[in-house]
Chains A and B, each alone.
Chain A
Amino acid sequence: MKRNGLPLALLAVLVLGALPLVASLPIWITLTVAGLAMGMMIFMMASGLTLVFGLMDVMNFAHGVFISVGAYAAASVLLALKGQAQAPGLAANLLAIGPAVLAAMALAAALGWFFERVIIRPVYGDHLRQILVTMGGLIVVEQLIIVIWGPDLIPLPRPAALTGSFIFGDAAIERYRVLAVAVGLALFGAMWLLLNRTRIGLLVRAGVENAEMVEALGYRIRRLFVGVFVAGSALAGLGGAMWAMYQESVNVQMGMQVLVMIFIVVIIGGLGSVSGCFVGALLVGLMANYTGFLAPKLALGSNILLMVLVLLWRPRGLYPVAK
């Protein structure tokens, strides 16, 4: 088997290995779809961060607030367009979901641009200061969220067309999870095409490996840095919007709550690797759901164990980027 196929085989082993442990096909199907949906949403939130890590060598601990801000922006729009969001029929719902997602991505992108320009640019190449200033920025933005939206959890009813489940035999699959899987696959496909079939993608892949050499070929890598940072922030905003609808609520801490899993995914996948991030996110999502059912107390610990095992197997992640 080719070396690149092994992480996919690991995914298959996890999925098939869970079946006898769960011991019920309908529950296994439900858990698997739930795990894939969760993995896709984590991928949306993590894909930008892995490129920022790989390309810019920046440790951005504030990535969680891009998720929170995206979630709050989406919630504000969905609550303001409650009539459309709760109307029966997908078309009417899309009139609320579309603007909500666009608002989430736009606000997170704008915040990302501000962060890159004001907070991160002065500390390129200095990891310790990056951690300190991004943590500081995170605290400031969290407080701003409290000032604007208040400290309390805001309930967010899911758009009507996305509630309920598809029933296959004895298995129930939530509609929203199917949507999350579809959006995640579409995003991965789009990113793959962008990275592998366009000149900008070629530059990003080369920049992740050796930014200095890209400059020596005559390209202004700083502009690429800003573009990737803003795009990564927008994707975090998209992930935040999806996560908010999944949780049916938003709160200030939600970005930070998923950030641990995002870091695990980025490390498991290999810093800078979008394919690795995708497979890593699916592994983490599936592992969280299977262990959440089989041994709930081990749910978070299981992902840390997964990370340890993957790093023992491949110390630079599932799909390490050549440096």
Chain B
Amino acid sequence: MLSLAGVNTHIGQYHILQGVDFEVPRGSLTMLLGRNGAGKTTCLRTIMGMWRASAGRVLCGASEIQDMKTPEIARLGIAYVPENMGIFAGLTVRENMLLAARGGAPDEKRLAWIFGLFPALEKFWQTAAGNLSGGQKQMLAIARAIVEPRKLLLVDEPTKGLAPAIIGNMIEAFRELKRTDTTILVVEQNFHFAQSLGDAVAVMDSGRIVHRGRMDALAADSALQAKLLGLSLEAHP
């Protein structure tokens, strides 16, 4: 579904991505892990065309997208949830959703399905998004990304700053999303969340992919986790 080959990205004088290669198989949930500053967010932003790749190829299905502008990439059916959630605080929940539904008013059935995933959004439908709690904002950010069927969903640290109970809700929501066969790439720091959901995993370090494989294999290998991520599963029950 998504394939990066030799992708390099420069931001000013800094060489952030230094030849990134990995693939996200169709219908899978792939976790992109790595320490702070490894280049995970830059990787997602490069896929979305927010940073321009200075070399390499990004393929989405049959389309080569590394030279496309962000709106064109989004119109291919790629949705992006940034680390800061990117919700429009001055707009209501309804208006945020309406804006994301490019085809017009959101489909009622799909909306009902989204309300099933995130009941709080129905309750606060006419509330300014800026007045929502952190967890509700994250729910809105993800709901907005899936208000229409998407080919590929890119999500940057969906659990960042969330309470454990909300993270549990998020895990359930992503499980439901996986049942729809949506292809998903998630950047994550929370290993518990990653191992609960991930089919495949790629680990980044210093702007390169240093490990690719199955998520369950990495979850079962404490030594590899410690080597790649500097953590152990025991620390994240």
Contact = CB atoms under 8 A, between A and B. Distances in A.
Interface string B96-123: 0011101000000000000000000000
A216 B86 contact: yes
Interface in A156-206: 199, 202-203, 205-206
A218 B72 CA distance: 6
A212 interface: yes
A323 to B, nearest CB: 8
Contacts of B89: 209, 322
Given A213-B86, A216-B70, A220-B71, A202 B98 contact: yes
Nearest to A203: B99
Given A203-B99, A206-B99, A322-B130, A216 B88 contact: no
Contacts of B100: 217
B217 to A, nearest CB: 33
A119 to B, nearest CB: 23
B82 interface: yes
B88 A219 contact: no
Interface residues of A, number: 19
Interface string A121-142: 0000000000000000000000
A81 B91 CA distance: 47
A218 B130 contact: no
A185 B95 CA distance: 26
A209 B99 CA distance: 13
Contacts of A212: 50, 70, 86
A257 interface: no
B73 to A, nearest CB: 8
B86 A205 contact: no
Contacts of A217: 74, 99-100, 102, 144
Contacts of A220: 69, 71
A22 interface: no
A248 interface: no
Interface in B152-167: none
Nearest to A216: B80
A321 B90 CA distance: 7
B86 A210 contact: yes
Contacts of A205: 88, 90-91, 95
Given A205-B91, A322-B130, A218 B86 contact: no
Interface string B62-89: 0000000111001100001010001011
A216 B130 contact: no
A209 B50 contact: no
Interface residues on B, range: 20 to 34
B48 interface: yes
B90 A216 contact: no
B88 A209 contact: yes
A210 B89 CA distance: 10
B80 to A, nearest CB: 5
A205 B100 CA distance: 14
A210 B75 contact: no
A213 B99 CA distance: 11
Contact of A215 (B70, B95, B98, B130): B70
Nearest to A323: B89
B157 to A, nearest CB: 16
Contacts of B69: 215, 220
Contacts of B80: 216
Contact of B95 (A202, A213, A216, A218): A202
Contacts of B144: 217
A218 B74 contact: yes
Contacts of B50: 212, 216
B91 A206 contact: yes
A322 B70 CA distance: 23
A177 B86 CA distance: 44
Contacts of B102: 217-219
Contacts of B130: 322
Given A216-B48, A220-B71, A202 B82 contact: no
Contacts of B98: 199, 202
Given A209-B90, A210-B86, A215 B99 contact: no
Interface string A218-235: 111100000000000000
Contacts of A218: 71, 74-75, 102
B59 to A, nearest CB: 19
Interface centre among A206, A209, A213, A221 (most CB of B within 10 A): A213
A214 B70 CA distance: 10
Contacts of A210: 86, 88
Nearest to B101: A217
A186 B80 CA distance: 39
20 contacts: A199-B98, A202-B99, A205-B88, A206-B88, A209-B88, A213-B82, A213-B86, A214-B99, A215-B69, A215-B71, A215-B74, A216-B80, A217-B99, A217-B102, A218-B71, A218-B102, A219-B71, A219-B102, A221-B71, A322-B90
Given A199-B98, A209-B89, 5 more contacts: A203-B99, A209-B91, A215-B70, A217-B74, A322-B89
* 3 smallest beta-carbon distances between A and B, as pairs: A322-B89, A218-B74, A213-B86
